[in-house]
Amino acid sequence: MIEVRNIKKYYGSKIAVDDVSFAVNDGEILGFLGPNGAGKSTTMNILTGYISSNEGTVTIDGFEILKEPIKAKSKIGYLPEIPPLYLDMTVREYLNFMFDLKNIKFPKISHIEEICEKVKIIDVIDRLIKNLSKGYKQRVGLAQALLGNPKLLILDEPTVGLDPKQIIEIRNLIKELKKDHTIILSSHVLPEIQSICDRVLVINKGKIVADDTAENLSNNLQAETNLIAQIQGDKEIVLRTLSNIQQIINIEASEEKSEGVFEYKIKSVSDDVRKHIFRELAKIDCPIIELKTSTVNLEDIFLQLTKDEDELKPNDLNISSNNAESEFDKGGEK
């Protein structure tokens, strides 16, 4: 469906997209993941022909975007980061205009109404776009991308700035669209990618750092088991006791949670060491206040992959995810 080969984009001397290549098959849904400023939007703008890459080619359904732009663009529905809406038009006028602009051959009125039903904007169709809420504007943008049933949908952060209810609605909508379209979706919200996409492409500083299914990505990093424990008692004694347990590879004590209670990050080989920990600590009378496993999820992978390479040590692959998770949730649902 779409094939991207070695694209590079420079802004002045700064490189924004550095030798990115990937292909998306028909019916696949690809998640584009990366921190802000990683080059996601730039890449999407290149795919849609809004800007040109300095090197490399983008081929959409057999048509190269620079050589046969009109044929290639007619295969794409694009929702940019900021939906391109004319605020002083009504939804109907706007969609009529986009319909004419894209030179679509379907019957106009029924096609537009069908799409409005699909994205649930039929009840605001005669209102001015500037009076709509952000969620509705986003949907009008999506409706615009869906006009003409393009084979390929490119959605740049479709849920950013929406409230949690709207996010769920848009996500469900995208899942529905999956049936008829090939979709490329970008986001810095990880659960979104995890729940929608077949395949994840992690991009950082203009480079692709991972390209795999969400499951594979987390499986690769889950060879070791991590535990987080809050244990009451003297830190030194606890550390000494625990390090006697064979299966444990590494223990790190972190901050004091409440008086006399410390938190420990425990790395062990995959055998469950919880009962050993319990027995050993019972012997020295240090009660376990809390004990939980930390599973590696996309957030850890993301943080790992997007870290500067020089900071990346093998040990880091198993850091606990608590802090990162809460930060991301805040960031994502803001």
Partner 1 sequence: MLAIVKKELSSYFHSLIGYVYLAVFFGFSGFYFFATSLYSNTTSLNYMYNGLFVIICFLIPILTMKLFSVERKQKTDQALLTAPVSLFSIVMGKYLSVLLIYLFSISITLLYGIIISFFAPAEWAVILGNFVALFLIGAAIIAIDMFISSTTESQSIAAVASFAVSFLVIMFDAMTSLVSVDFISKILKGISLTQHYYNTFTVGIFNIADIIFFLSICTLFVFFTIRVFEKRRWS
CB of 140 to partner 1, least distance (A): 11
Beta strand 261-268 pairing with 225-232: antiparallel
103 is a contact residue toward partner 1 (CB under 8 A):
yes
50 binds partner 1 (CB under 8 A): yes
Decide: is 171 part of the binding site for partner 1 (CB under 8 A).
Answer: no
Half-sphere exposure of 80 (CA within 13 A, CB side): 11
**Strand-pair partners of 33:** 187, 202
No. of helices (H) and no. of strands (E), the chain = 12, 14
The least distance separating partner 1 from the CB of residue 159, rounded to whole angstroms, comes to: 18
Size of the site for partner 1 (CB under 8 A): 31
Task: Specify whether the CB–CB gap between 277 and 228 falls below 8 A.
Answer: no
Of the residues 3, 8, 19, 51, which one makes contact with partner 1 according to CB under 8 A: 51
Stretch binding partner 1 (CB under 8 A), from 13-21, 44-52, 178-186, 302-310: 44-52
> Among 42-50, 169-177, 207-215, 237-245, which window interacts with partner 1 (CB under 8 A)?
42-50
- What is the CB neighbour count within 10 angstroms for residue 166? 17
Which one of residues 23, 37, 55, 87 is an interface residue with partner 1 (CB under 8 A)? 87
E-assigned strands of the chain? Answer: 2-11, 14-24, 29-33, 55-60, 63-64, 76-79, 152-156, 182-187, 199-204, 207-212, 225-232, 248-258, 261-268, 288-293
Residue 106 interacts with partner 1 (CB under 8 A): yes or no: no
Q: What string of DSSP letters covers 209-256?
A: EEEE-HHHHHHHT-SSEEEEEEEES-HHHHHHHHHTSTTEEEEEEEEE
One of 35, 69, 161, 233 touching partner 1 (CB under 8 A): 69
Q: In this structure, are residues 302 and 332 in contact, taking their beta carbons and an 8 Å threshold?
A: no
CA distance 59 to 57: 6
Q: Contact between 101 and partner 1 (CB under 8 A)? A: yes
Cβ at position 61, least distance to partner 1 in Å: 12
Instruction: Closer to partner 1 by CB, 84 or 164: give it.
Output: 84
**Residue among 51 and 249 whose Cβ is closer to partner 1:** 51
Q: Scanning residues 272 to 331, which ones bind partner 1 (CB under 8 A)? A: none
Parallel/antiparallel/unpaired status of strands 76-79 and 152-156: parallel
Choose which of 3, 93, 113, 280 interacts with partner 1 (CB under 8 A): 93
Binding of partner 1 at residue 97 (CB under 8 A)?
Answer: yes
Q: Rounded to whole angstroms, how far apart are CA atoms 175 and 177?
A: 5
The reply on whether position 73 binds partner 1 by CB under 8 A is yes
Please give the residue ranges that form the binding site for partner 1 (CB under 8 A): 11, 45, 48-52, 54, 69-71, 73-74, 76, 78, 80, 82, 84-89, 93, 97-98, 100-103, 144
